[in-house]
Amino acid sequence: SAFAACAMPAPAATPPLSPDIPKKFEAPREDADYVRREEMIPMRDGVRLYTVIMIPKGAHAAPMILTRTPYNASKRAERNVSPRMLANLPLGDEVFASDGYIRVFQDVRGKYKSEGDYVMTRPLRGALNGSKVDHSTDAYDTIDWLVKHVEESNGKVGMIGSSYEGFTVLMALVNPHPALKVAVPMSPMVDGWKGDDWFHNGAFRQTNFDYIYGQTARKDDSLRVPRGAFDDYANFLKHGSAGDYGRHFGFDQLGFWNKIVEHPAYDAYWQGQALDPVMAAQPLEVPRMIVASLWDQEDMYGAIATYEAVEPKDAANDRNFLVLGPWRHSGVNYDGSVLGALKFDGDTALRFRRDVMKPFLDSYLKDGAPKADTPPVFVYETGTNRWRRESRWPLACAQGCSATSKPIWLHAGGTLDFARADGAAYDEYVSDPAKPVPYQPRPVHFEDSDAWRRWLVVDQRFVDGRPDVLSYASEPLTAPLKIAGAPLVNLFASTSGSDSDWVVKLIDVYPDEVPSQPELGGYQLAVAMDIFRGRYRESLEHPSAIPSGAVQKYRFELPNANHVFLPGHRIMVQVQSSWFPLYDRNPQTYVDNIFLAKPGDYRKATQRVYVAGEQASHIDLPVVATD
């Protein structure tokens, strides 16, 4: 009967209690325009590295572009869920992904799905690495495997990548595999102590706490510091020294943090990892285009240092190329139309990728492609908002450039002039570690990545007028003034303490009224700024206490700029002694290791900036003629 049939159902193929999450699910990809291969590529020591290979369907004799990443290779090839390869790959790849390239992402050893140990900045084999492997051998072994196992390829490989991924590009240029035909390192981490991620001139960058925790507390990046505070200014102030902060949140379990605490100075550990001298010592075989951002809030040092170190080898000026764009860190791979309040001449990043990088890659990677018309230096001129093709960089410097830098002098009471001063000897302020100067308006929330990306272009009026910030401004300019290179700080200063930080900013002050963009009226745009930890004034390796009250000379370069100060604008210099919480506070009392400073070491100090006579502070500006 019908009743009996209901009570005893026929056995079903999918019983009610069968698990609904399958052991393995594979999305059908018949309509996809690409094939996604996932491989574990063996390295020479047997460790296997997880690699995603995205191949356009029907590809034949296609070039390959490789990126080696600590940021999840699988996810790097999953921007969108789509049957189209272009949509899956990162925005920055579109220009070549739409033209038949095979795209490869690999997890570096120890991260995500790769085997082996992760070492945050794995040194090259040598004094700091006695093993058989490093990023140069891993790149070599990977490229060797790719050219032998990807039958759709033409056997030519290019490498690109920004930041950490730029660091792995540079590493691949050490004893490069013969199939590596071209490289585009973007904002690579090159010298983590002098001016890239970890320190700037010896001052520790506390944003790294979140980075180190995310990257190394687990193999993926799933953990975040449970800081329990929105405002990181208050958060870091509460915990004391960076060492105390680290201890509070368990950082002493993290190897890289301990390495940082053990190496506060520019000792053999940091010197032995700096890549610019390594690159200079390598034969210049593989053509490379080194890309830097003019407002790079993470790795503003290494790209240009590497370009300059290698350039003497580039006799024909056709292998070592430089690009300087008006971007934030890694901004080259995103929309480059605006940065904070600044509006540029269209999407500057797309223009570079499409009109300069793509033909450059094609010419070395595509069989039979024509030679690209690549300028040796392609640099955006901020202020006037246009790209320029140059044959060298920098255009002005202290010695050996086509133009010689010109000093601009600080005058007592807050003026600035190309003529030397003869007024009072100094200006002074009190620097109080209990009330450090913020680097961006509070609240400071490190996890606000938008704020982090644009803080270098934030209007500096938010600190102008603070009693612990000195500002020196020129008269409004009557003619344009262009700088193209690195401004060099020559600061004569004393402190009543025995250690001190010095922050110097070179600023373009907009006219009071800017009709085309009213919110820029009076804007103070930092063109170049940096910090110097005073204990390193005589030696970066061997710090020394600053004699209390004695005038000392601090000489350091600011980041490169290619900027025109327009008529009606003024040039400004600001000087202060803290930049918090981005940089850890200097206790202003000399201690062996600032990471281990005790609360009682943090003391107020009276700072004097000398502005007259033999000890007149000035900045050598890399001034060049305008046309």
**Contact positions vs ligand PG9 (CB under 6 A):** 163-164, 167, 189, 197, 211, 298-299
Residue nearest to ligand PG9 (CB): 163
CB of 216 to ligand PG9, least distance (A): 11
CB of 72 to ligand PG9, least distance (A): 12
CB of 215 to ligand PG9, least distance (A): 8
What is the C-alpha to C-alpha distance for residues 54 and 39, in angstroms, rounded to an integer?
11
Q: 502 near 444, Cβ under 8 Å?
A: no
The gap from C-alpha 88 to its chain's centroid, in whole angstroms, comes to 25
By beta-carbon proximity to ligand PG9, the closer residue of 140 and 211 is 211
Q: 354 near 363, Cβ under 8 Å?
A: no
By beta-carbon proximity to ligand PG9, the closer residue of 118 and 554 is 118
Q: Whose CA is closest to 573, among 527, 621, 522, 504? A: 504
By beta-carbon proximity to ligand PG9, the closer residue of 320 and 330 is 330
By beta-carbon proximity to ligand PG9, the closer residue of 70 and 534 is 70
Is omega for the bond preceding 599 within 30 degrees of 0, making it cis?
A: no
By beta-carbon proximity to ligand PG9, the closer residue of 163 and 560 is 163
Q: Whose CA is closest to 578, among 562, 594, 591, 560? A: 594
In angstroms, what CA-CA distances link 108 with 111, 115, 140? 6, 9, 13
Residues in contact with 352: Cβ distance below 8 Å, sequence separation at least 6, in sequence order:
291, 323, 325, 332, 336, 378, 387
CB of 260 to ligand PG9, least distance (A): 12
Residue with tokens 């450090």: 436
By beta-carbon proximity to ligand PG9, the closer residue of 118 and 429 is 118
3-state secondary structure of 244: helix
By beta-carbon proximity to ligand PG9, the closer residue of 225 and 365 is 225
CA dihedral defined by 52, 55, 60, 63, rounded to 10 degrees?
Answer: -60
DSSP string, 461-528: GGTTT-TT-EEEEPPPPSS-EEEEE--EEEEEEEESSS--EEEEEEEEEPPS--TTSGGGTT-EEEEE
Task: Let me know the angle formed at the C-alpha of 560 by 555 and 565, rounded to the nearest 5 degrees.
Answer: 105
What is the C-alpha to C-alpha distance for residues 98 and 119, in angstroms, rounded to an integer?
35
By beta-carbon proximity to ligand PG9, the closer residue of 163 and 495 is 163
By beta-carbon proximity to ligand PG9, the closer residue of 138 and 298 is 298
CB of 214 to ligand PG9, least distance (A): 10
CB of 122 to ligand PG9, least distance (A): 11
Q: Residue 360: enclosing H or E segment and its boundaries?
A: helix 358-365
CB of 426 to ligand PG9, least distance (A): 38
CB of 366 to ligand PG9, least distance (A): 29
What is the C-alpha to C-alpha distance for residues 143 and 361, in angstroms, rounded to an integer?
17
What is the C-alpha to C-alpha distance for residues 84 and 80, in angstroms, rounded to an integer?
9
Q: 141 near 134, Cβ under 8 Å?
A: no
Around Cβ 567, how many Cβ atoms within 10 Å? 12
- The two structure tokens encoding residue 111: 């991260």
CB of 609 to ligand PG9, least distance (A): 32
CB of 16 to ligand PG9, least distance (A): 49
CB of 196 to ligand PG9, least distance (A): 7
By beta-carbon proximity to ligand PG9, the closer residue of 349 and 469 is 349
By beta-carbon proximity to ligand PG9, the closer residue of 148 and 218 is 218
By beta-carbon proximity to ligand PG9, the closer residue of 144 and 448 is 448
What is the C-alpha to C-alpha distance for residues 50 and 463, in angstroms, rounded to an integer?
48
CB of 163 to ligand PG9, least distance (A): 3
What is the C-alpha to C-alpha distance for residues 626 and 477, in angstroms, rounded to an integer?
14
